[in-house]
Amino acid sequence: MTEAAVKTRPPADKPAPAVPRGKTAKNLSGHIVEIVSDSGEGAQRCGQALGAIAARMGNGVWTVEIIPAEIRPPARSVAGGSGNRIRLGSGPVTNGGNETDLVIAFNEQVLLGRVRTGELKPGCTILLESMWRESRDNRIAASYVETHDQLVVAGYKVIEAPMERECRTIVADAKRGKNMFALGMLCSIYSFDLQLGRDQIARTFGKKDASVIESNVKLLNAGFDWAESNLEFKYRIPATRSTEPQMVIDGNTALALGVLASGMEICAMYPITPATSVSHYLSAAFEKVGGIVHQAEDEIAACTFAIGASYAGKCAVTVTSGPGYSLKQEGIGLAVMGEIPLVIINVQRGGPSTGQPTKVEQGDLMTSIFGSHGDAPKVVLAPGTIEDCFYSVITARKIAETFNMVVVVLSDASLATSQTPFTRPQFSEAWLAPPIDQSEVGEGQKPYDWNPVTGLARRFIPGQPGGMHTLTGLAHDELSHVAYDPDTNERSLRARSHKLAALQKTLTPPPVFGDPKGDLLVIGWGSTKGAIEEAVTNLREQGHKVSSLHLTFLQPMAPGIKEIMQRFKKVITIEGNWSDDPNDEIIDESNRRYSAVAMLLRSRYLIDVDCWSEVRGQPIKPNSIERVLLEKLKKK
């Protein structure tokens, strides 16, 4: 510990009771808890702190941010709830799970928002701030009482918690600090070591005045004590600590760390939700290790700036989300035509148009594969976990530079803001690219000397004597001379296409989760991996012959997928993009629109792949998937 860290470590006011007073903790294998408040009341920080404490206890954790679309939505509004949802488990947790078991709500309106979106388990426990009952505003008091009573009638276990009143005994403004009171309550409820809570406060407020830490610790202790004395229940989720070092980050930070680890030095971007935090993290990190984030004047400039930097020898990355990705399309075509390596990270959100900026959707797969104009082959891969986010960027850079191609990394809003522990990566020199080649180009060598089989050509970089040529977005021959003749045009299109085939030859079939054959194969991609595999595990425990396959490479697809599908009686994809429900009145087999991967699999492998998808802006829950798969198993 550094001296500073020691100094700011708060003193333990009193030791945490080793045995809860008069209560025995009920053992659980997992639990889902939410803290939700008005924006600015600190529920997110409380949730993050709880996640960190749980991770330190050795529990599996998956946190999901509850984010309103606006920065300051009106107080006490149904759509304005802000907070965090934390899934706790004994072992590793791979997704946000099903409905919530326990909620702490700072007012009844934000709570209603969660009830109405169907995020709460029927009959779950609610700890509700009770101050509104005594509000001087009659409408607020009435609204509180009405909601409270309705929830009680609906079967929820509503416990009124006087958080405001208790906090006011410690601080003048309870708005600042109620979140730490809530954290104390949660430490009691889940039997977490209160010292870890105090340490977390020291870390969170480390840069602030010691008095800030002190008052927050008091609030934490008070919340703990209140819960110990007033709540009848207490849980314990036994931890099975990993033997390997663990890191906790969200998907966007993982992507940014991947950029650092890949050795990329230039990131050109334009702010867009939910991708922007990648560049926030990178901006700070680059200041320490070298490199720049260029905030361009628009998405088009971000893309073409990155293309210029890549062309000049530094593989660059641009980070965006759907609408920004659309704007980059012409630039992407240029990079394809010029065979300039480029990494594009698209953190998908709900679309089309401005859509749902803070919500999850997997709607950009088709535009990633087929986007831009003409035949513009590019590589598309999608991380399935937060850990994958890190490694996928390293892989993307390698492929981009080896094949001189555009590589699109498709993450999404769910991975972007979720946090979970994973094994700390071991640095490898192989992650980095060699220095820029400035050696002389031998006589007779051509800038597009396409290999007749693989389409690959050596890339010339400015500064190399003898390599002078003009890169052009026009059709061109091996010398990069503008060429309109039919043979050259076809030859160049073939070369650019065959690079995908050459990459495909290096891929290995994806592993099947579950038995290699059976009744039903579930195929997914991207952030749904954890939820799908959890559903499959549950169904297999019930005796169903279900397995799953997760696709990381969407373009090109790995070999062996057809053979895997053929070993199952039925195949279905689970995706977070639109597909028509065949039960809808107007939908039949001749007009049904399939979800993206289902469409790709059907057309490529001529197998009758079904699909089910959900575009509710929330991560797909394992129990929704289980229900769908059971139905699919039952169908003839």
Partner 1 sequence: MTIHATECLLRMHDQHHELEDYQSGVPRWCTGCGDNAILAAVQRLCRDEDLRPEKTMFVSGIGCSSRFPHYMKTYGFHGIHGRALPVAEGIKMARPDLNVFVNTGDGDCCSIGAAHWIHAIRYNMNMTVMLHDNQIYGLTKKQASPTSPRGTKSNTTPGGSYLEAMQPLTVTLGVQNVSFVAQAVDWIPEVLYDIISKAFKHKGFSFVRIIQRCPEWLPNTFEPWMQDPLRTLLLTHENGLTLSPNLSKVYKTQERHDPMNINRAREIASLQDPIPVGILYNNPNVPCYEDIHNIGQQRSTRYIKAGLEAEFDKFTIWPQAADGKIQPGA
Tell which positions 479-518 bind partner 1, by CB under 8 A. Answer: 482
164 vs 330 by CB, closer to partner 1: 330
Provide the terminal-to-terminal Cα distance of the chain, rounded to the nearest Å: 64
Q: Does the footprint of partner 1 cover residue 247 (CB under 8 A)?
A: yes
Q: Could you say which residues in the range 449-478 bind partner 1, by CB under 8 A?
A: 462-474
Q: Does the footprint of partner 1 cover residue 49 (CB under 8 A)?
A: yes
Please name which of 589, 574, 587 lies closest in space to residue 619, comparing C-alpha atoms.
574
Q: Could you say which residues in the range 197-226 bind partner 1, by CB under 8 A?
A: 203-204
| Phi, psi of 388, rounded to the nearest 5 degrees | -60, -35
Residue 457 token pair: 């050509």
Q: Could you say which residues in the range 75-104 bind partner 1, by CB under 8 A?
A: none
Q: Could you say which residues in the range 409-448 bind partner 1, by CB under 8 A?
A: 419, 421, 424-425, 427, 429, 432
Smallest distance, Å, CB 99 to partner 1? 23
User: What is the per-residue DSSP string for 382-413?
Assistant: --SSHHHHHHHHHHHHHHHHHHT-EEEEEEEH
Q: Could you say which residues in the range 57-76 bind partner 1, by CB under 8 A?
A: 58, 63
Q: Does the footprint of partner 1 cover residue 309 (CB under 8 A)?
A: yes
Q: Which of 72, 241, 505, 627 is close enough to bind partner 1 by CB under 8 A? A: 241
**Region from 122-130, 328-336, 353-361, 393-401 binding partner 1, contact rule CB under 8 A:** 328-336
| Phi, psi of 271, rounded to the nearest 5 degrees | -60, 130
- Count of positions on this chain that bind partner 1 (CB under 8 A): 79
Residue 254 token pair: 């993982």
**Region from 110-118, 167-175, 261-269, 542-550 binding partner 1, contact rule CB under 8 A:** 261-269
**Region from 98-106, 164-172, 308-316, 591-599 binding partner 1, contact rule CB under 8 A:** 308-316
Q: Does the footprint of partner 1 cover residue 248 (CB under 8 A)?
A: yes
Q: Which of 36, 55, 409, 564 is close enough to bind partner 1 by CB under 8 A? A: 55
Query: Does an H or E element contain 529, and which?
Result: helix 529-541
Q: Which of 163, 201, 220, 266 is close enough to bind partner 1 by CB under 8 A? A: 266
Q: Does the footprint of partner 1 cover residue 353 (CB under 8 A)?
A: no
Q: Does the footprint of partner 1 cover residue 15 (CB under 8 A)?
A: no
Q: Does the footprint of partner 1 cover residue 111 (CB under 8 A)?
A: no
316 vs 561 by CB, closer to partner 1: 316
Q: Which amino acid is it at 127?
A: L
Q: Does the footprint of partner 1 cover residue 308 (CB under 8 A)?
A: yes
Q: Which of 70, 298, 515, 631 is close enough to bind partner 1 by CB under 8 A? A: 298
Residue 445 token pair: 């060598």
Q: Does the footprint of partner 1 cover residue 305 (CB under 8 A)?
A: yes
Is residue 452 within 8 Å of 502, Cβ to Cβ?
Answer: no
Q: Where are the alpha helices (DSSP H) in 23-162?
A: 43-57, 108-116, 138-153
Q: Does the footprint of partner 1 cover residue 297 (CB under 8 A)?
A: yes
Show the 3-state SS of 180-232.
Answer: HHHHHHHHHHCCCCHHHHHHHHHHHCCCCCHHHHHHHHHHHHHHHHHHHHHCC
Smallest distance, Å, CB 247 to partner 1? 4
Q: Does the footprint of partner 1 cover residue 307 (CB under 8 A)?
A: yes
253 vs 579 by CB, closer to partner 1: 253
Distance in angstroms (rounded) separating the CA atoms of residues 394 and 522? 28
Smallest distance, Å, CB 4 to partner 1? 9
Q: Does the footprint of partner 1 cover residue 265 (CB under 8 A)?
A: yes
Distance in angstroms (rounded) separating the CA atoms of residues 420 and 95? 9
Distance in angstroms (rounded) separating the CA atoms of residues 38 and 77? 8
Q: Does the footprint of partner 1 cover residue 374 (CB under 8 A)?
A: no
Torsion sign across C-alpha atoms 436, 440, 445, 451: negative
Is residue 613 within 8 Å of 577, Cβ to Cβ?
Answer: yes
Smallest distance, Å, CB 52 to partner 1? 4
Kindly report the CA angle at 267 between 245 and 308, in degrees rounded to 5?
Answer: 145
Pairing of strands 610-613, 379-381: unpaired
Q: Could you say which residues in the range 556-585 bind partner 1, by CB under 8 A?
A: none
